[in-house]
Amino acid sequence: MYKILIKYSNNRNMNLWEIYGISTTSTSGKTIFTEFETDDIDILEAELLKLDKEFGHKQIKVIKEIDANYSVDVTDTDIADDKNVDEVTNNEDVL
């Protein structure tokens, strides 16, 4: 899924990026923001051409959202065996 970021500067001269999307207001007055996202390169290109005219290419970034699954195995082991316990005890006696 491709998304677009638009650069803006705040009053502290910080360059920040915000997600590009469309805000719509319902009849009840509630504003809903919908992020622009697409997998279609042609739709992305058309939107980028439109935004380039409005903001300029230096103010636009395209990001690709990647889904990833990670598997983590956690093994419970004894941290200190008998030898390490003796070393810790000896070191504590020295202190």
**Tokens at 79, concatenated:** 């941290």
- Cα 33–Cα 55–Cα 38 angle in degrees, nearest 5: 45
Q: Which residues pair with 84 in a beta bridge?
A: none
pLDDT tens digit string along 63-90?
998 888 989 888 877 655 555 555 555 5
pLDDT tens digit string along 3-58?
999 998 766 667 789 999 988 888 888 998 999 999 999 999 999 999 999 989 99
Task: Name the pTM for this structure.
Answer: 0.62
